[in-house]
C-alpha cells in the first residue's frame, strides 16, 4: 500500500468531506485547515519527559504512582510542557491516566520559568527542526 504524507492524507480527507457535504446539502462549505508539524505530539512530549526522568531512575516511568515521588514532579512538568503547546487538560491526562483536576493541580506545581520545563521544550523544538 502506498504511504501518503500527512498533508496528502489531510487533503484527501478534506476533499471527501467537501464532496459529501455538497451531495447532502447542495452547497459547498468553506473549509480552513492547516497541519502544524512544528508542534510535538503528546506522545513525543511524554516520551521526552520520561527519558529525562529515566536518567535519574532508569527502571521507572512518570506513570508510576507514589505520593511525594519525583515522578509526581515530572508528571507536572509533562503537563506544563503539553500546556505550553496548547493541549487540553483531558488529553494530557489520558496518557498518565489522570483526570483534569489532577492535571490542573500539577500545572500549579510548575513555575513558569522552570529550568527543566525550558530544557524539555528546547529538546522538542530541536527534534522538530
Mean pLDDT by 10 residues, the chain (129 residues): 70 90 91 77 94 89 76 93 93 91 94 92 86
Residue 3: predicted pLDDT: 61
The set of residues, in sequence order, having a beta carbon less than 8 Å from that of 7 and lying 6+ positions away, is 35
- The dihedral built from the CA positions of residue 41, 44, 48 and 50, taken in this order, carries a sign that is positive
Amino acid at each position: 500500500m502506498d504511504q501518503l504524507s500527512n498533508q496528502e492524507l489531510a487533503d484527501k480527507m478534506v476533499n471527501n468531506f467537501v464532496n459529501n457535504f455538497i451531495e447532502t446539502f447542495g452547497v459547498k462549505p468553506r473549509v480552513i485547515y492547516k497541519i502544524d508539524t512544528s508542534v510535538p505530539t503528546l506522545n513525543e512530549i511524554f516520551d521526552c519527559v520520561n527519558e529525562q526522568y529515566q536518567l535519574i531512575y532508569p527502571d521507572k516511568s512518570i506513570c508510576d504512582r507514589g505520593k511525594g515521588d519525583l515522578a509526581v514532579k515530572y508528571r507536572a512538568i509533562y503537563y506544563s510542557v503539553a500546556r505550553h503547546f496548547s493541549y487540553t487538560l483531558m488529553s494530557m491526562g489520558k496518557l498518565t491516566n489522570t483526570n483534569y483536576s489532577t492535571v490542573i493541580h500539577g500545572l500549579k506545581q510548575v513555575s513558569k520559568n522552570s529550568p527543566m520545563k525550558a530544557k524539555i521544550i528546547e529538546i522538542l523544538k530541536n527534534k522538530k527542526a
